[in-house]
Structures are given as structure tokens and as C-alpha cells.
């Protein structure tokens, strides 16, 4: 009857890019200026948990409760996801008139992250991946992770990579309608299960410049960015895919650090410049260099998104050298919170 509430719940993991997405060629469809590659983190540590429901008895239109607070659903990105998913449900309903008309009912989303939102920890990635999956499950859509990645991408670009576990590429594609700009699994987590990530929470505060406006400013004003798109990223993608295939940590680490540096250099090259890293971030970079020098080989790699927090990739066998040294070196640095999250880096469980 009209009181029936239809419901589906899902989780989606965080992913942290080792070759960064930075720049949109189409802001409406979230089409990127370059391909990117990330590692999906364990859902045991960092994830969005989302319930989607709909009912003819719901009044007041669509709604979203994010970490217990009312959030915007009228934004173009959220609307694009809702529209895509409703259209697919409406097609099923048209083909089978016995199905309940869920596509016409208001949607309620309730989502919770178990980590700070908008602190450069890719909360939007897990959030939009979970949103797309939860509504697809609610609507009983026969959607593959690749197809859902096309939808999640329209919510937040990096979200398309959170539909897969393990090592994930987002292929930029070249079609104007974005139908070939989707995620693709490069390797399952089981291919390189020793991978780990250490997250150094420098600040849990909301970031200063949103990724959307940071990207726009970079595309419009940075000369260095043109070089990054034309040659730096294509080279990094090729070396990274080979490093993953061969489980070559030294190569993986070098590309990860170089690509993070390149991304932050383009931000510093915008006018006016954008700085996501702070003094504590830079101390973390020096700490990684010390750890690697002390080990006599590359055991750790840093990367930073659009915020000051560091993510350090390392292999399980080097846990003592990496994690122990970090506490030791950074313990003396003012502003570094000991609130680190140690995370199994990869997950093979596809949400
Ligand atoms: O998905 P967005 O719009 O939040 O952009 C994410 C950008 C970076 O996190 C800095 C890089 C990436 O590839 O995840």
C-alpha cells in the first residue's frame, strides 16, 4: 500500500589516489582532464554507510541526512545521480507494469562516515559511491560496478573509483557525453595483499579550497598544469600500472610521491596560489625520506589530497620500520596529532 517503505543499505570504502585526478574538462558531467589511479582502503577502517529508502507516504521531497545533519540534495551533482538512477528504474517499471513505481516516490538518504568529512580524506568518494549503490539496490537495478561508476562519477569524480576494491583506474575517456569515463579494476587487492596505508591526521577541519574550485583555478591559471596533463600523468599512469603488475614497491612509491608533488606544484602555480599542505605535512614528507634513508631502500611513500593529511603507503613486512619511525620522528613535531588511523590498505570486497 502507500504506507510501504522500501529500503536498502550498503557501505562503500574510501580510495586514495596514487596518480591524482585534478582538473575537469566538463564541469557538468565531471569529466576529467586526465586518467587517475587509486588504492581502495579497507572498509573496516574508513567507509560510508548509507541507507536509501522511498515511500509514497514520504512528504517534502528528496532528503539527505549526512552524519546526523540535514544536507543539501538540490545540488546539481546529487540531482544528476538521482536523475540517472530514477531513469533506469523508470525503464524497468515501463517494461514490467507489475513493479511498484519507486521512481516516482521521494527518496530519503541517511549516510554516515566513520572518519572526518571534507578533511582531505576523500569523504565524497565513499559517500557518492555508497549513494549510487544504495539507490541502485533499492531500485533493484541490474547495474555492474562499472556502470555504477558512471553514475557515482557525476556526484564526485573520485567516487567512481570506490565502486571497486584493490587497485583501480579511472579512464578519462574521450566521448563528450562521458559514457566512456569510468572506473576499471587494474588488480584485485589479493594481487598485492601486503599493501598497507597509514593515515596521519594533521587536521580534521574542513578544507579551505574545495576540490571543484581548486581544479577550476588550476585549469584556468596554471601553466605547469598543461605539462602535467600532456606528459607527466600519462607517464605516471604507465609506470604505475607496470609497478602494480610487477609488485614493484620502489617504483610504486616513487610515482606516488612524484605525482603528489606534481599535483601540489600545479596548485602552487595557480594565481593566486593554493596551498593544501602545511608545515606538519612537509614534516611528514621529511619523515618519509628519513625512514627510507634509514632502511637503505624505499619502504614508505607519502601522498596528499586536497588537504594537509598524509597517507603513507608501505608493505606489511616493513610495518616496524615505517610505523615505529613515524611515531618517533613526528612525535617531536608540534601540531601532529597522535590520532593516526592504521588501515589495511586494500579490500577485495566489491560493495
Ligand atoms: O572527487 P573530488 O572532486 O573530491 O576530487 C578529488 C581530488 C583528489 O582527491 C585531490 C585526487 C583524487 O584523485 O582523488
What is residue 340's predicted lDDT score, i.e. its pLDDT? 52
Q: How far apart are CA 209 and CA 205, in angstroms?
A: 12
Establish whether residue 122 lines the binding site of ligand 1, counting it when its CB lies within 6 angstroms of any ligand atom. Answer: yes
Query: What ligand 1 atom has the least distance to the C-alpha of 16?
Result: 14
Sign of the dihedral defined by the CA atoms of residues 275, 344, 117, 115, in that order: negative
- Which of 207, 305, 308, 309 has the most ligand 1 atoms within 8 A of CB, as the residue to mutate? 305
71 CA to centre of ligand 1 in angstroms:
20
pTM of the model: 0.94
Task: Supply the DSSP string of 118-171, one letter for each residue.
Answer: TSSS-HHHHHHHHHHHHHHHHTT----HHHHHHHHHHH-GGGGGGGSSSEEEEE
Q: Which CATH code is given to the segment(s) 195-344?
A: 3.30.70.890
Establish whether residue 17 lines the binding site of ligand 1, counting it when its CB lies within 6 angstroms of any ligand atom. Answer: yes
Q: Give domain 6-191's CATH architecture.
A: 2-Layer Sandwich (3.30)
Establish whether residue 34 lines the binding site of ligand 1, counting it when its CB lies within 6 angstroms of any ligand atom. Answer: no
Establish whether residue 236 lines the binding site of ligand 1, counting it when its CB lies within 6 angstroms of any ligand atom. Answer: no
Establish whether residue 128 lines the binding site of ligand 1, counting it when its CB lies within 6 angstroms of any ligand atom. Answer: no
What is the 3-state secondary structure of 247-309? CCHHHHHHHHHHHHHHHHHHHHCCCCCCCCCCHHHHHHHHHHHHHHHHHCCCCEEEEECCCCC
pLDDT in tens, the chain (351 residues): 678 999 999 999 999 999 999 999 999 999 999 999 999 998 877 899 999 999 999 999 999 999 999 999 999 999 999 999 999 999 999 999 999 999 999 999 999 988 765 444 657 899 999 999 999 999 999 999 999 999 999 999 999 999 999 999 999 999 999 999 999 999 999 999 999 998 887 776 666 899 999 999 999 999 999 999 999 999 999 999 999 999 999 999 999 999 999 999 999 999 999 999 999 899 999 999 999 999 999 999 999 999 888 999 999 999 999 988 887 777 766 665 544 555 555 554 443
Q: How far apart are CA 186 and CA 164, in angstroms?
A: 10
Query: What ligand 1 atom has the least distance to the C-alpha of 158?
Result: 1
What is residue 199's predicted lDDT score, i.e. its pLDDT? 83
77 CA to centre of ligand 1 in angstroms:
15
Find where cell 591526521 sits: 201
325 CA to centre of ligand 1 in angstroms:
29
Sign of the dihedral defined by the CA atoms of residues 27, 11, 150, 185, in that order: positive
Establish whether residue 158 lines the binding site of ligand 1, counting it when its CB lies within 6 angstroms of any ligand atom. Answer: yes
What is residue 121's predicted lDDT score, i.e. its pLDDT? 65
Establish whether residue 160 lines the binding site of ligand 1, counting it when its CB lies within 6 angstroms of any ligand atom. Answer: no
Find where cell 560496478 sits: 145
What is the 3-state secondary structure of 65-113? EECCEEECCCCHHHHHHHHHHHHHHHHHHHHCCCCCCHHHCCEEEEEEE
How many CB atoms within 10 Å of residue 104? Answer: 12
Q: How far apart are CA 334 and CA 269, in angstroms?
A: 28
125 CA to centre of ligand 1 in angstroms:
8
73 CA to centre of ligand 1 in angstroms:
20
Residue minimizing CA distance to atom 9 of ligand 1: 305
172 CA to centre of ligand 1 in angstroms:
14
**Three cell numbers, residue 144:** 555492474
Cis status, amide bond into 262, omega within 30 of 0 = no
Q: What does the domain layout of the chain look like in residue ranges?
A: 6-191, 195-344
20 CA to centre of ligand 1 in angstroms:
7
Query: What ligand 1 atom has the least distance to the C-alpha of 263?
Result: 10
Report the candidate in 52, 53, 18 with the shortest Cα–Cα distance to residue 37: 18
211 CA to centre of ligand 1 in angstroms:
7
Domains 6-191 and 195-344 share a fold: no
203 CA to centre of ligand 1 in angstroms:
18
Q: How far apart are CA 78 and CA 226, in angstroms?
A: 30
Establish whether residue 157 lines the binding site of ligand 1, counting it when its CB lies within 6 angstroms of any ligand atom. Answer: yes
341 CA to centre of ligand 1 in angstroms:
20
Amino acid at each position: 500500500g502507500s504506507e510501504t517503505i522500501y529500503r536498502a543499505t550498503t557501505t562503500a570504502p574510501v580510495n586514495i589516489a596514487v596518480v591524482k585526478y585534478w582538473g575537469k574538462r566538463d564541469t557538468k558531467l565531471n569529466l576529467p582532464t586526465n586518467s587517475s589511479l587509486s588504492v581502495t582502503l579497507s572498509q573496516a577502517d574508513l567507509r560510508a554507510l548509507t541507507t536509501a529508502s522511498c515511500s509514497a507516504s514520504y512528504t517534502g521531497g528528496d532528503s539527505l541526512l549526512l552524519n546526523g545533519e540535514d544536507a543539501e540534495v538540490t545540488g546539481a551533482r546529487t540531482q544528476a545521480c538521482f536523475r540517472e538512477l530514477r531513469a533506469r528504474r523508470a525503464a524497468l517499471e515501463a517494461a514490467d507494469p507489475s513493479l511498484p513505481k519507486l521512481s516516482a516516490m521521494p527518496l530519503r538518504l541517511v549516510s554516515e562516515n566513520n572518519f572526518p568529512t571534507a578533511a582531505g580524506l576523500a569523504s565524497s568518494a565513499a559517500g557518492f559511491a555508497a549513494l549510487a549503490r544504495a539507490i541502485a539496490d533499492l531500485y533493484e537495478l541490474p547495474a555492474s560496478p562499472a556502470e555504477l561508476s558512471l553514475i557515482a562519477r557525476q556526484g564526485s569524480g573520485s567516487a567512481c573509483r570506490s565502486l571497486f576494491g584493490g587497485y583501480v583506474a579511472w579512464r578519462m575517456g574521450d566521448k563528450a557525453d562521458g559514457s566512456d569515463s569510468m572506473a576499471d579494476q587494474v588488480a584485485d587487492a589479493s594481487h598485492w595483499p601486503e599493501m598497507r596505508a597509514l593515515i596521519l591526521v594533521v587536521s580534521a577541519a574542513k578544507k579551505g579550497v574545495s576540490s571543484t574550485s581548486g581544479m577550476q583555478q588550476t585549469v584556468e591559471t596554471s601553466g605547469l598544469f598543461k605539462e602535467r596533463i600532456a606528459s607527466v600523468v600519462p607517464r605516471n599512469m604507465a609506470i604505475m600500472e607496470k609497478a602494480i603488475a610487477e609488485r614493484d614497491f620502489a617504483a610504486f612509491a616513487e610515482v606516488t610521491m612524484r605525482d603528489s608533488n606534481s599535483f601540489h606544484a600545479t596548485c602552487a602555480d595557480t594565481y593566486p596560489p593554493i596551498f593544501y599542505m602545511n608545515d606538519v605535512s612537509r614534516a611528514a614528507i621529511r619523515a618519509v625520506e628519513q625512514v627510507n634513508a634509514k632502511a637503505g631502500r624505499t619502504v614508505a611513500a607519502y601522498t596528499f589530497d586536497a588537504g594537509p593529511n598524509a597517507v603513507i603507503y608501505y608493505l606489511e613486512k616493513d610495518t616496524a620500520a615505517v610505523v615505529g619511525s613515524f611515531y618517533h620522528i613526528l612525535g617531536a613535531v608540534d601540531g601532529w596529532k597522535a590520532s593516526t588511523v592504521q588501515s589495511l590498505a586494500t579490500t577485495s570486497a566489491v560493495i
